[in-house]
Amino acid sequence: MSATAIDWKALDRHWNCRLTVRGRKSGQERTVTIWYAVGDGKVFLTGDAKGPQWLRNARANPDVVVQIGRQRLRGRARVVEDAAETDAVRQRFARRYVAARIARLLGTGYTDSTALVIDALAPAGR
């Protein structure tokens, strides 16, 4: 099944996703629950400017699994380096989450966060 066969509207109904990524040092799977946004056949995540552990792990091991609701998707993660693309991801979060919008307006969040894009999505087995 390709990304075009994924029910994106169903994915957009949830508030959190579970990202599973292999640890860059231990090699063990690590899972974190985090806000997300979807669009353009991709899943978008953000983390603080210092780069949280899950982001560092995804940079080292870009093959990830993201679970949204009951759907588990395997994909390829990419840390966004381009400033304009990073800001576009932040704006997605500001549109989706009221708390992100408020933090952005106050200058206390979603102004310097790092962004991660997961694409090449396909259903993952259990």
CB 73 within 8 Å of CB 1: no
Q: Looking at residue 87, what is its pLDDT?
A: 94
Could you give all domains of the chain from N- to C-terminal order, each with its CATH number?
A: 3-123 (2.30.110.10)
CA distance 12 to 43: 10
Residue % of the chain over a pLDDT of 90: 75
Give the Cβ contact number of residue 29 at 10 Å: 13
Give the chain's mean pLDDT.
92
pLDDT tens per residue across span 20-60: 999 999 999 999 999 999 999 999 999 998 889 999 999 99
Q: Which is more confident, 21 or 101?
A: 21
Work out the average pLDDT over 91-111: 90
* Whole-angstrom distance, CA of residue 93 vs CA of residue 83: 16
Report whether pLDDT(125) > 90: no
DSSP 8-state code for residue 90: H
Average pLDDT over residues 65-73: 95
